[in-house]
């Protein structure tokens, strides 16, 4: 599956800030959904002050697709007032095959696609990962604890393919690409499974969010990042990028990881991006980072990407 012809250079490639460092619920018990435009502006202003010109209103922070038309217009005015655009919308932990809420999340995902078209975003990102468990919420790093797993059930796999195909067809009608996020213990939990899944969907506008960081951070054996990237590069679309340091001591039975800036971690993004570009990658990036001042590290990652992307 080859991407569209690249149309950007390192100077104007859309590189968005994720909003994962901002909570949906505020200390006073209010939801970000109910904040005033002035409150939204303070948060978006922080992102602009970090040097970002693009933002992804990640729905772990704000569900733009669930705002009323008037409130959505208010939010878009806030984004524009800070000189920013929205190249994509990412959905988190709203799996369309969730045993309890899958139907609700499917309807929501359709609204996300409609909203993306309405606001001029070219991409949406969906995944099959589910809400954090209570044990994960208590851990310093949630990925060190076991989370929910997609069932080893051919019928559920088939349902997942059917539902993503449905979303993909809807998105194609509106000129939107769908990127499916790689994540452990889901149907996109390995490179091989990810490729198999998108090939079964079989739509040109549906590809893989090659978020290898979600996999190399695991305290368990994983496939080498370069092997994974080589497999998924032909299918890469909207891409969440982050990196981790990974230490393995086979004799001691030790595997440990922690977040680091893109240029400092295990994944060589210079090589990974080159692979994707060779297959026609022509989508936006999203910078993420867990721990510390995630926004500032994301800004550092953005600057790194601008140094290694093509000049022309």
Q: What CA–CA distance (Å, rounded) separates 147 from 13?
A: 34
Low-confidence ranges of the chain (pLDDT < 70): 1-6
Residue 123's pLDDT is what? 98
Is the whole model's pTM more than 0.85, yes or no? yes
Per 3-state DSSP, what percentage of the chain is helix, strand, and coil (rounded to 5)? 40, 15, 45
What is the token pair recorded at 52? 């970002």
Q: How far, in Å, CA of 260 to CA of 257, rounded?
A: 9
The DSSP secondary-structure symbol of 310 reads: -
**What per-residue confidence (pLDDT) applies to 7?**
87
d(CA 92, CA 74): 23
What is the C-alpha separation between 267 and 248, in angstroms, rounded?
15
| pLDDT, tens digit, 9 for 90 and up, residues 247-260 | 999 999 999 999 99
Question: Between the CA of residue 268 and those of 102, 114, 262, 311, what are the distances in Å?
Answer: 36, 35, 8, 19
- E strands, 77-152, in order: 88-90, 123-126
Q: Supply the pLDDT for residue 2.
A: 39
* C-beta separation of 312 from 269 below 8 A: no
Interatomic CA distance for residues 16 and 52, integer angstroms: 7
Domain 15-308 CATH superfamily: Divalent-metal-dependent TIM barrel enzymes (3.20.20.150)
Cβ atoms 130, 146 nearer than 8 A: no
Condensed to tens digits (0 to 9), the pLDDT of residues 214-250 reads 999 999 999 999 999 999 999 999 999 999 999 999 9
């Amino acid at each position: 599956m080859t991407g569209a012809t690249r149309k950007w250079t390192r100077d104007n490639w859309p590189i968005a800030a994720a909003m994962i460092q901002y909570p949906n619920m505020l200390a006073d018990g209010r939801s970000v959904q109910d904040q005033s435009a002035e409150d939204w502006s303070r948060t978006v202003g922080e992102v602009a002050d970090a040097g970002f010109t693009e933002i992804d209103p990640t729905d772990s922070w704000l569900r733009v697709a669930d705002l009323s038309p008037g409130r959505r217009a208010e939010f878009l005015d806030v984004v524009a007032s800070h000189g920013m655009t929205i190249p994509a919308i990412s959905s988190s932990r709203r799996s369309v095959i969730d045993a309890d809420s899958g139907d609700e999340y499917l309807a929501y995902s359709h609204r996300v696609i409609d909203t993306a078209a309405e606001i001029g975003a070219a991409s949406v990102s969906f995944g099959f990962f589910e809400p954090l468990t209570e044990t994960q919420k208590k851990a310093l790093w949630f990925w060190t604890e076991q989370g929910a797993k997609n069932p080893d059930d051919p019928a559920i796999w088939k349902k997942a393919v059917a539902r993503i195909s449905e979303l993909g067809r809807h998105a194609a009608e509106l000129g939107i690409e769908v990127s499916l996020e790689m994540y452990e213990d889901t149907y996109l939990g390995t490179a091989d499974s990810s490729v198999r899944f998108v090939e079964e969907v079989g739509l040109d506008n549906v590809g893989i969010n090659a978020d290898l960081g979600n996999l190399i951070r695991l305290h368990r054996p994983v496939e080498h990042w370069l092997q994974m990237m080589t497999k998924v590069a032909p299918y890469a679309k909207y891409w969440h990028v982050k990196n981790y340091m990974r230490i393995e001591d086979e004799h001691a039975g030790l595997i440990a990881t922690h977040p680091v800036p893109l240029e400092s971690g295990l994944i060589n993004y210079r090589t990974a991006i080159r692979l994707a570009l060779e297959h026609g990658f022509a989508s936006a990036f999203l910078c993420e980072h867990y721990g510390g001042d995630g926004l500032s590290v994301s800004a550092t990652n953005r600057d790194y990407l601008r140094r290694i992307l093509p000049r022309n």
